[in-house]
């Protein structure tokens, strides 16, 4: 059994959306093989045994797929290890005696609900505005009826890897969601199936992003650096080109 390491945790605590938040300090000994969420599970077991309020945090798959687990660890959304979701961040990446600061994703568009939990529904509203394609259902077409170049397919798949965790927003000094929106726009804009609604889609999603209170992009690249899936900012450039084309062409939406 691996020797345990001792850590000091400063965890953001907030009892309700209206309450004042504060950092609370905890001391814990944990096995290096535990993930940061497993460490929080152990800490909550200890708190509940003492009839104290456990720490609220989010998780679902715990396999680095869904992005629900996102928290800020020592100033880094999802933690200091590149291309790694919080649930896949293990304690062996930290040193014995180290101090960790755990806090929620922070952005104007995110509401801190409780402790490490934030309301990321504004991202869902952006998807609802245009993150889909409209097709007639029926018998499936032959697999090769729409030939797609391999390079194009790979770019679309790379964009589709975005898990919608919102770390890009938390990493950006302007709380911009443009990497998220760029990825969701690109995964359809690159494929034939996404062409009929391509320009209406980008306008609807960008307009909703602005309505939700997300900031503008100033190309600091922090979003790409902190993204657990390594989504490229080239998707932002593609989104901007499509948005400009839509605005100066007959594709412009009417209001």
Q: Does residue 19 surpass a pLDDT of 70?
A: yes
Domain locations along the chain: 5-111, 120-248
* CB-CB neighbours of 59 under 10 Å: 18
3 state SS for 50-103: CCCCCCCCCCCCCCCCCCCCCCEECCEECCCCCCCCHHHCEHHHCCCCCEEEEE
Instruction: Quickly name the fold that domain 5-111 has.
Output: Ubiquitin-like (UB roll) (3.10.20)
**Both structure tokens of 31:** 């096995």
Q: Domain 120-248, CATH 1.10.1060.10 — does that match?
A: yes
Q: Residues 32-90: pLDDT tens digits?
A: 999 999 999 999 999 999 999 999 999 999 999 999 999 999 999 999 999 999 999 99
- Reported confidence tier of residue 250, pLDDT bands at 50, 70, 90: low
pLDDT at 255: 43
**Is the pTM value of this prediction over 0.85?**
yes
* CB-CB neighbours of 12 under 10 Å: 19
Min mean pLDDT across 2-6, 8-12, 110-114 is at: 2-6
Q: Which residues of 203-238 are buried (b: 16+ CB within 10 A; e: fewer)?
A: bbbbbbbeebebbebeeeebbbebbbbebbbebbeb
Which residue do the tokens 């443009």 mark? 178
**Both structure tokens of 230:** 């390594």
Cα 103 from Cα 76, distance rounded (Å):
10
Cβ 1 vs Cβ 93: under 8 Å: no
Q: Residues 178-190: pLDDT tens digits?
A: 999 999 999 999 9
Q: Residues 202-248: pLDDT tens digits?
A: 999 999 999 999 999 999 999 999 999 999 999 999 999 999 999 98
Q: Residues 103-157: pLDDT tens digits?
A: 999 999 999 999 999 999 999 999 999 999 887 777 776 766 788 899 999 999 9
> What backbone torsions phi and psi does residue 97 show, to the nearest 5 degrees?
90, 0
């Amino acid at each position: 059994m691996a020797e345990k390491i001792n850590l000091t945790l400063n965890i953001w605590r907030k009892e309700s959306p209206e309450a004042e938040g504060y950092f609370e300090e905890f001391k814990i000994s944990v096995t290096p093989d535990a993930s940061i969420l497993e460490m929080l599970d152990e800490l909550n077991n200890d708190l509940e045994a003492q009839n104290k309020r456990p720490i609220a945090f989010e998780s679902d798959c715990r396999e680095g797929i869904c992005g629900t687990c996102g928290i800020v660890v020592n100033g880094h959304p999802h933690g200091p290890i590149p291309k790694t979701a919080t649930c896949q961040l293990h304690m062996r990446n930290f040193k014995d005696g180290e101090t960790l600061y755990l806090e929620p994703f922070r952005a104007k568009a995110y509401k801190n609900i409780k402790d490490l939990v934030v309301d990321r529904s504004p991202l869902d509203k952006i998807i609802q505005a245009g993150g889909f394609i409209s097709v007639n259902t029926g018998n499936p077409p032959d697999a090769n009826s729409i030939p797609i170049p391999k390079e194009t397919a790979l770019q679309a798949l790379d964009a589709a890897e975005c898990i919608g965790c919102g770390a890009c927003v938390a990493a950006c000094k302007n709380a911009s969601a443009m990497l998220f929106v760029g990825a969701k726009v690109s995964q359809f804009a690159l494929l034939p199936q996404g062409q009929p609604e391509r320009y209406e889609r980008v306008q609807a999603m960008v307009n909703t992003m602005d309505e939700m209170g997300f900031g503008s992009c100033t190309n600091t690249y922090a979003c790409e650096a902190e993204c657990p899936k390594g989504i490229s900012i080239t998707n932002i450039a593609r989104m901007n080109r499509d948005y400009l084309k839509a605005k100066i062409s007959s594709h412009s939406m009417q209001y």
